[in-house]
Structure 1
Amino acid sequence: MESKERIIDTQEIPEIWSWGAGTDGQLGTCKLQDEYIPQSLPIRHSLTHLSCGGAHVIALTHGKKVLTWGRGSSGQLGHGNLLNSLEPKLVNGLDGLNITHVSAGWSHSGFVSECGQLFTCGDGSFGQLGLGDYGSQSSPEKVSHFALRHVEQVACGMRHSLALLKGEHGDQVYGFGSGKRGQLGISNEKVKSVSLPQNVSGLQEVNVSSISANGDHSAVLSADGPLYTWGRGFGGAPDACCPNRVNSSLTFTQAALGWNHALILTDEGEVLMLGSHYGTNSNPQAEKLATYELNEAQIVKFHGLDGIKVVGVASGSEHSVLSTENGMVMTWGWGEHGQLGLGDTSDHTCPQSVSIAKNNAHKYITTKVYCGSGFTYVVRTWRLED
């Protein structure tokens, strides 16, 4: 580990676990192999956020520094080269910028600074870096289109990106990159690609709390609870070129997008699923509970989670992960690379509990879950007892 940054609050200790696809070093284990059960990582930084992409990981530290590791063949690690990294390394090109938000796409990355600047690197062949061309970058480059604006968040999908801007004229979302499935939301018609950010239509009156992108999907969560999605249709529904509000009276607090599905968390701690995992079909227990529709795509909930309060959700390309209020982690979906953490490569249609070693002498505060394409991360924080 190159960084000498220390944990600020020595009473709160991060505990990081990873499993699943690991042949590009994305698990941070210093091994080039898949792992079928959770692996403990020796990362002792106080992390505020992780973002997992196709085969790389971006970590944001408490000190607003950035670490990246995994596949770097398109320059997505931001280290100035096209090399993979088996362990976390500081992105020196962002030193001194105080990064507050990060996002990992399939093979590109985005970083937002404290003063509202957006930087991108990696594959730019679809314009997803927002730099006005279709070239790739191995070091973070400032997106000059937003030079006089304040970017709050960035979300990187497979070949497109979203940026959330905050200002005196309200919230605005911009899209750039591939738009072949309508995922840019910038026109009533599908567009091949754009290399400069363009304003997403239909969100002018929405107070945006978060943006999401994965695969060919895009989503916005409103501060007062509604969810808007656009791009590739879920569960056989038609593609949408403009944001559509999910028709529900429920209040949503989190959304996680996969390639063919999305998880939505309600303020009551209930998980709903839109679409399904490819090849595993829908949870047979959930089909009877379809209660809402969005352009013919059903939203369902799960019998197996009755009485369990969920506090976090994450979606990989074809698998799902959740964490509960008591720190339990559950997974389901595609398992070919061991990304479910159950000790095998089987698929599962129902949520299964993952066994992660726990020290009963510690008081665990939070358990957060993150997904890459075919791998999973869990960050648990525990407090030293006085």
Structure 2
Amino acid sequence: MNTNNSTSKPTRYKLWAFGSNGSGQLGIGHGEDVSSPQECKGEIPLPSSGIRQLAAGGNHTVAIFNDGTFASTGDNADGRGIVPNTKHIHTTWQQQQQEGLAGEQQEDFVRHVAATWSATTVCDAEANLRVAGTGSSGELGKGSDISVAEVATPMDNFLPPGDSIVKIASGMSHVVVVSESGEAWGWGKGRKGQLGGPAENVQRPRKIEDVPFKVVNAVCGKDFTCLFGDASSGEFLILGLAGSDRFGVKKNAPDSVRGWKQVAASWGSIYVLMESGELRSWGRNDHGQLSPPGLPLLSAVAAGSEHCLGLTQDGRVLAWGWGEHGNCG
């Protein structure tokens, strides 16, 4: 809420969605795809509270709001939406009230969220991780004997004492966390080397070794992970795509991305928004996924599986890439 002076009007927020919606993952009250923005419905603290973070899985969507509310919509058949006591599809947003994800200090509890195709990972202020959903390749990070968690289930602590988590990134089937100390840890599908070596599925959090810089950010594609060092250095490292770099994610990467502001990844492309507002991108482009000619300067960027959204510096939202199901509006 804007409280700069007594005459200011409070900021009022709205959440709009469009695209694939077969499981109600847009939260607009039905399960049909839409190609134009529709206002979301359900148990969300709008218009008074803004959104801290959104994460989209294959058929579910989760959100953290600034007032501490955690909500989800879409497929919850295996608990992936972390909505308790339900095993069906939601077409409107549902608040999370499960013990351990709410309470007196709820606004400080859920700090980060990420979603694989069929699971969700949340992190609290004390770097405790909880997972829910299905992960046949280790996406839950709970070991090979646990592939389904129908309620938010704590993961074992793996960070050194005193360390904390600053970022969770996820691809279709793997998860990477970045710690405050500059380490990266990952679990899930790793047979292409996206979790470092050895190239295998990783059932519990494993440190990614031999990174030649302090990691401050990470993004995940379908079969790769990109780790970033400090923006002033421009260092980054792409892991994965063993024997299958057919879209040039590694081959066409620049030498440096010095001066980056924000980073994102689709299944087969990497997007780096520079402090100047220029969007640099490389990788898959058979559906126009990369930055189109004449793209204006941007202030923010977000990527889906094979499409991208950009917020221009004058407040417009642009979309490009694979537009099936209405993903590009």
Alignment TM-score > 0.5, same fold:
yes
CA contact (8 A) 1:184 1:218 kept: yes
Letter in 2 for 1:271: L
Match of 1:136 among 134, 148, 156: 148
Shift of 1:245: 8.3
> Distance between the aligned counterparts of 2:246 and 2:309, measured in 1?
19
Residues 1:155 and 2:169 aligned together: yes
Structure 2 stretches lacking a partner, 5+ long: 4-8
Shift of 1:110: 0.9
Residues 234 and 30 of structure 1: CA distance in aligned 2, closer, same or farther (over 3 Å): farther
Residues 1:28 and 2:27 aligned together: yes
CA contact (8 A) 1:172 1:204 kept: no
> Distance between the aligned counterparts of 1:328 and 1:76, measured in 2?
32
> Distance between the aligned counterparts of 1:282 and 1:15, measured in 2?
27
> Distance between the aligned counterparts of 1:228 and 1:320, measured in 2?
22
Task: Pick 1 or 2: higher relative contact order, CA cutoff 8 A, min separation 6.
Answer: 1
> Distance between the aligned counterparts of 2:124 and 2:226, measured in 1?
22
> Distance between the aligned counterparts of 2:203 and 2:19, measured in 1?
33
Shift of 1:111: 0.6
Between structures 1 and 2, the one with greater strand share: 1
Q: Superposition pairs for residues 160-175 of structure 1, below 5 Å? A: 160-166=174-180, 170-175=181-186
> Distance between the aligned counterparts of 1:174 and 1:119, measured in 2?
15
> Counterpart in 2 of 1:92?
97
CA contact (8 A) 2:269 2:289 kept: no
> Counterpart in 2 of 1:315?
303
Shift of 1:161: 0.8
> Distance between the aligned counterparts of 2:137 and 2:246, measured in 1?
26
Shift of 1:257: 0.9
Q: Superposition pairs for residues 65-144 of structure 1, below 5 Å? A: 65-80=69-84, 81-93=86-98, 94-96=101-103, 98-133=109-144, 134-144=146-156
Give the secondary-structure state (helix, strand or coil) at the position aligned to 1:119: strand
Residues 122 and 182 of structure 1: CA distance in aligned 2, closer, same or farther (over 3 Å): same
CA contact (8 A) 1:226 1:245 kept: no
> Distance between the aligned counterparts of 1:22 and 1:62, measured in 2?
25
Query: C-alpha deviations, 1:126-148, integer Å up to 9, x for none?
Result: 11111123421011111113375
Shift of 1:100: 0.9
Give the secondary-structure state (helix, strand or coil) at the position aligned to 1:337: helix
Residues 101 and 25 of structure 1: CA distance in aligned 2, closer, same or farther (over 3 Å): same
> Counterpart in 2 of 1:218?
225
> Distance between the aligned counterparts of 1:49 and 1:61, measured in 2?
7
> Distance between the aligned counterparts of 2:256 and 2:292, measured in 1?
17
> Counterpart in 1 of 2:320?
332
Give the secondary-structure state (helix, strand or coil) at the position aligned to 1:92: coil
Match of 2:211 among 203, 208, 228: 203
Shift of 1:234: 5.1
> Distance between the aligned counterparts of 2:112 and 2:287, measured in 1?
33
Structure 1 stretches lacking a partner, 5+ long: 1-6, 284-300, 342-386
Give the secondary-structure state (helix, strand or coil) at the position aligned to 1:29: coil
> Distance between the aligned counterparts of 1:110 and 1:151, measured in 2?
12
> Distance between the aligned counterparts of 1:245 and 1:22, measured in 2?
33
- Counting aligned pairs with the same residue, the percent is 26
> Distance between the aligned counterparts of 1:61 and 1:12, measured in 2?
14
TM-score, length-normalised on structure 1? Answer: 0.72
Shift of 1:78: 1.3
Residues 245 and 220 of structure 1: CA distance in aligned 2, closer, same or farther (over 3 Å): farther
Give the secondary-structure state (helix, strand or coil) at the position aligned to 2:157: helix
Shift of 1:313: 1.1
Query: C-alpha deviations, 1:50-95, integer Å up to 9, x for none?
Result: 1122121111111223111112233211124432211111222311
> Counterpart in 2 of 1:255?
263
> Counterpart in 2 of 1:227?
236
Residues 28 and 8 of structure 1: CA distance in aligned 2, closer, same or farther (over 3 Å): farther
TM-score, length-normalised on structure 2? Answer: 0.84
Cα root mean square deviation, aligned: 2.5
Q: Which moved more, 1:326-335 or 1:47-56?
A: 47-56
